[in-house]
Amino acid sequence: MPTGVALRDAREQLFDAAERVLLRDGANALTSRAVTTEAGCAKGVLHRHFADFDAFLAELVLDRIGRLDAQSAALHAAAGTGTVADNLTSALSELFGPVAVAIVGLVISRDALRARLRGTTPAGVPLLTEATGMFASYLTAERDLGRITPDADIDTLARTLIGAGHLLAAGQPGTVPETEAYHRVATTVVAGALRHPDPDRRPRSPSRPPA
């Protein structure tokens, strides 16, 4: 794209370009030049929209965090329907897509970026902290509906789900874990907190020996 030609929806296009670089080349390859080259625009376009590259990266992470709102609303609306394990499985699968995992890796690798994000995420790892809150809100709703035991440690359950889900997704670079793997995580984490076992966790009747 010739220098001086404005990008349509420049912020979104630059974010999309950054995500492609992250997925293809990793966090160390993410530079302002790599982003603008990927977006097909002049380097000055990025600096017309952001104070500097660190500000761009912070907005990239905040954009990804903002996308949790719709997922959080959907997960909360699912409380009381289906099974707890299935609802958690769907949420984990959606949350830990390749881009989100790459964004978390970027945040972990850059101290300056985490420092910039402390205004919105005072503690923990940005994106993972907000996702933990999403799961805690859902589990609280299930507890209020009587499907989670009253004494369940909601915060610990939510942190365990996020930690195990992230390790599962980040431990297989270039691949997406199967849904069944997330289901095993979900059923294991909440097994002791369910007031009534989910149908797929109920013990099977012992088979009769052959006559």
Q: What is the pLDDT of residue 202?
A: 44
pTM: 0.85
* Of the ranges 11-15, 50-54, 136-140, the best mean pLDDT one: 136-140
The rounded distance, in Å, linking the Cα atoms of 51 and 31 is 15
What CATH number matches the domain at 64-198, 1.20.120, 1.10.357, 1.20.950, 1.10.1740? 1.10.357
- Domain ranges (residues) in the chain: 10-49, 64-198
Q: What percent of the chain has pLDDT over 70?
A: 87
Same fold, 10-49 and 64-198: no
Q: Give Cα 152 to chain centroid, integer Å.
A: 23
Judge whether residue 9 has pLDDT over 80: yes
Q: What is the pLDDT of residue 42?
A: 86
Read off the pLDDT of residues 46-100 as tens digits, 9 standing for 90 and up. 988 899 999 999 999 999 999 999 999 999 999 999 999 999 999 999 999 999 9
Q: Are 58 and 117 in contact (CB under 8 A)?
A: yes
Q: What is the pLDDT of residue 103?
A: 95
Helix, coil or strand: residue 203: coil
Tokens of 5: 């030609």
The rounded distance, in Å, linking the Cα atoms of 197 and 175 is 32
What CATH number matches the domain at 10-49, 1.10.150.120, 3.40.640.10, 1.10.10.60, 1.10.10.10? 1.10.10.60
- Paired strand residues for 148: 194
Judge whether residue 4 has pLDDT over 60: no
C-alpha to C-alpha distances, 201 to 57, 70, 145, 198, nearest whole angstrom? 43, 29, 19, 5
